[in-house]
Structure 1
Amino acid sequence: MARVPRGAALPPAAWWLWALGLAVAATRTTNPLVLALLVAVSAYVVAARRTSAPWSRSYAAFVRLGLAVLVIRLFFAVALGSPIPGTHTLLTLPEVPLPHWAQGIRIGGRISAEALLFALYDGLKLATLLICVGAANALANPVRLLKSLPGALYEVGVAVVVALTFAPHLVADVRRLRAARRLRGRPDRGLSGLLQVGLPVLEGALERSVALAASMDARGFGRTADVPPAVRRTTAALTLGGLLGVCAGTYGLLTAEGGTYGLPVLLAGLAAALAGLRLGGRRSPRTRYRPDVWGLRAWVTAGSGIATAALLALAAARDPAALHPGVVPLTAPTLPLLPAAAVLLGLLPAFIAPAPASEEPS
């Protein structure tokens, strides 16, 4: 099986920045047309640039997860009601009487079109966010992503990469064993087929985990250098304080009251967290073999996602009605041209990224 040349494939961090940019853009709107366009952009890029590696098949799982989230959101809107007032009644369910201390909560009752449409918009936003994250999982090599992590996060990154690669290999094993049973004329569906396929799959997953742990121990993973206690305490203080600053700054940017202090606190928190990560990297004195090189294609890929998020945030601030269509009264959503053009910037990786070829796990 041919391999993607290491210099040709984009760095995984570029794909993640692109996908996170689309995900942030999805949080800035509830317009179903814009959200559908974001899903279409991510699907087109995944179809055009994913490889045949096991993790590249995870996009469909995230799409199903997004649809499940959408259905659950609609179910709660129907079963538990909604605070959105409405005059267009779709159906009336039997209402369960609740005690007086549960005022404001109801089970059943009148279901209006306005409440159902509001739940649809809200669930579609979360589903789009999950699908965008699934695009990053399908395009980025998790093993190469581990190599780009700071040294202070290397042990955590190993655990995350093992967790991310376990599910795709598990799905591949299930498909392989079911195909083998079909070729032998044995049932591969139902409870009996599941039980007879599940044991070999779990056994293979256990053997792979033990072999991976042994190989990682032989290569020195998890071993740290001795550093003075003062350096450890300074690292912990900088990292923890930086993360708290990032949380406080992000909260300030999202609220109207914290617009004055949000950005300075966020920048100070980022600086402290980066300093803590750099100082913590001294505990992991390892070199990087063939580090990823950021070329023009990688920068354009990451920049297209960031630009999409920035332009959607700007459009939401200038014309919130276009990106947040109302449901009371009922109005048909329209596709705003400038936000749609901003979303289409996310298509750039489908044309500038290297052509897909089979990529084996390394």
Structure 2
Amino acid sequence: MLQRERLQHPAAWWLWGLGLATAASRTTNPALLLLVVGVCALVVSERRDPSAPNPLRAFLLIGVGIIVLRLLVTVVLGNGVYGDTVLFTLPRVPLPEWAAGVRLGGPVALEPILYAVYDSLRLTAILACVGAANALASPRRLLRHLPATLYDVGTAVVVGLTFAPRLLGDARAVRDARRLRGHDGRGVREVARLTVPVLETAFERSLGLAASMESRGYGRAVRSTRASRWLASGLALAGLAGVLAGLYGLLDTSAGGVLGVPLLLVGVVLATASLVVGASREERTGHRRDPWSWTETATVAAGAVPGAALLLGSIQGWDGIVPAQSASLPHLPLAAVLAIVVAAAPAFLTPPPRAEASA
């Protein structure tokens, strides 16, 4: 069925991205991780707002940089993983006795290199999921749906998330302007010459943003009692501790895996209670709320399927979820592949964005 052109609810895209990132965090199989990156690229290419920037490329470049840096560190210093398949040998630099656990040079084996590639590729896939969610739903749109308690914190986060892309855009514009004036635009000295105009532009934008926010009532005092503040703060801290402990139990297989579920549920309940207490002392009105229809529900479900499947697979020890570092190709679990492919469904089921829609 042809969907009417509109922007999806931003929370649906971010929940989809978090579900896919959970799936990526539970495996080191390079085929599954590359499939996650491919799903993110497909959905972004089909359902990104054409008038909005595409930060997925920047996130992927950061991931590639992480892989290259991790490989260099592994080749030169090692990563504590030993192997029998020696690829080549570098000149060994002797180190003092107090640095016995560190090597500089020496034999480079295949197993530690594969471990570094698998582990850094997992982080790259997680970054791709976050970048895809950022490209599909701007954090500024998500800010409108935050509870009143988190609105000030959300404003700071959104400003921080939008600062880096703007800074890169300013640097690119200044570099192009200098090239038109005959400068090469390369080298360390040229980069140093870009710093002053880029930072000056960022400073002027920050002052303009601060003045605009102040004129709209940001930073006003909230009427609250001391008891309500202490109650909301205590519930928030307890909920945050529970959520962190639960996530650690879910993401770290050595901590028991499924044992983190009760802590996570308790943390979510306490955090929700703190939001309710905080929202009761500050009311905010909504403007142009995004609708939630069956396509948003399908998007969240499509992201939850791979997260739940790979979480179950890592707990039960499916073959190929965490492959061994060897020269043989890792086994590819069919159930995990199908679960990740399901996450690509929003590229075809959700309504296409309008070209003139604003973020």
TM over 0.5: yes
Q: In 1, are the aligned partners of 2:248 and 2:255 still within 8 Å (CA)?
A: no
1:303 aligns with 301
More divergent stretch after superposition (281-290 vs 186-195) = 186-195
Q: What is the aligned partner in structure 2 of residue 354 from structure 1? A: 351
Letter in 1 for 2:62: L
Pairing of 1:127-142 with structure 2 (within 5 A): 127-142=124-139
C-alpha RMSD over aligned residues? 2.5
Q: Offset at 1:180? A: 5.3
Query: What is the match of residue 219 of structure 1?
Result: 216
Q: Is the 8 A contact 1:19 1:135 kept in 2?
A: yes
Q: In 2, Cα distance between the equivalents of 1:314 and 1:261?
A: 13
Structure 1 pair 241/165, CA: closer, same or farther in 2 (3 Å)? Answer: same
Structure 1 CA distance, aligned partners of 2:75 and 2:61? 21
Structure 1 Cα separation of the partners of residues 104 and 238 of structure 2: 44
CA contact (8 A) 1:316 1:323 kept: yes
One-letter amino acid matched to 1:31: N
Task: Pick closer, same or farther for the CA change 1:120–1:165 going to 2, 3 Å.
Answer: same
C-alpha distance in 2, partners of 1:339/1:168? Answer: 34
Aligned residues of 2:55 and 2:131 also touching (Cα < 8 A): yes
Match for 2:296: what amino acid? A
2:93 to 77, 91, 96: 96
TM-aligned CA deviation for residue 37 of structure 1:
0.6
SS at match of 1:110: strand
- The alpha-carbon deviation at position 169 of structure 1 amounts to 2.7
Q: Is the 8 A contact 1:48 1:356 kept in 2?
A: no
Structure 1 residues 212, 241: CA separation in 2 closer, same or farther (over 3 Å shift)?
A: same
Q: Alpha-carbon deviation of 1:251?
A: 3.4
Scaled by the length of structure 2, the TM-score of the pair is: 0.89
Following superposition, the deviation at residue 259 of structure 1 comes to 6.2
Shift of 1:162: 1.2
Residue type of the alignment partner of 1:211: G
Distance 2:45 2:123 in 1: 22
Q: How far is the alpha carbon of 1:103 from its aligned partner?
A: 2.7
Structure 2 unaligned blocks of 5 or more = none
1:205/1:95 Cα in 2 relative to 1: closer, same or farther (>3 Å)?
same
- CA–CA distance in 2 between the matches of 1:201 and 1:252? 43
Partner of 2:73: 76
Query: Post-superposition shift, 1:195?
Result: 6.3
**In structure 2, do the counterparts of structure 1 residues 274 and 308 end up closer, same or farther at CA, with 3 Å as the change threshold?**
same
For residue 185 of structure 2, the aligned residue among 183, 189, 194 is 189
Instruction: Quote how far apart the aligned CAs of 1:225 are.
Output: 2.0
Distance in 1, matches of 2:232 and 2:108, equals 54
Residue number in structure 1 paired with 2:163: 166
Mean Cα displacement is larger for which, 63-72 or 129-138?
129-138
Name the CA distance, whole Å, in 2 between partners of 1:98 and 1:204: 47
- Aligned pairs for 1:1-362 within 5 A: 8-54=6-52, 56-179=53-176, 186-187=182-183, 189-190=185-186, 198-253=195-250, 254=252, 258=256, 262-328=260-326, 330-358=327-355
Shift of 1:10: 0.9
| Residue-pair matches, total | 354
Percent of residue pairs identical:
45
**CA apart distance, 1:159:** 1.1
C-alpha deviation, 1:316, in angstroms: 2.6
Matched-pair contact (CA < 8 Å) for 1:251–1:258: no
- CA deviation after TM superposition for structure 1 residue 288, in Å: 1.2
Aligned-pair CA distance for 1:205: 2.6
TM-score, normalization: structure 1? 0.89
> For residues 104 and 6 of structure 2, what CA distance do their matches in structure 1 show?
56
Is 1:151–1:281's contact at 8 Å kept on the other side of the alignment?
Answer: yes
Change in 2 beyond 3 A, CA 1:109/1:198: closer
Q: Structure 1: which 5+ runs fail to align? A: none
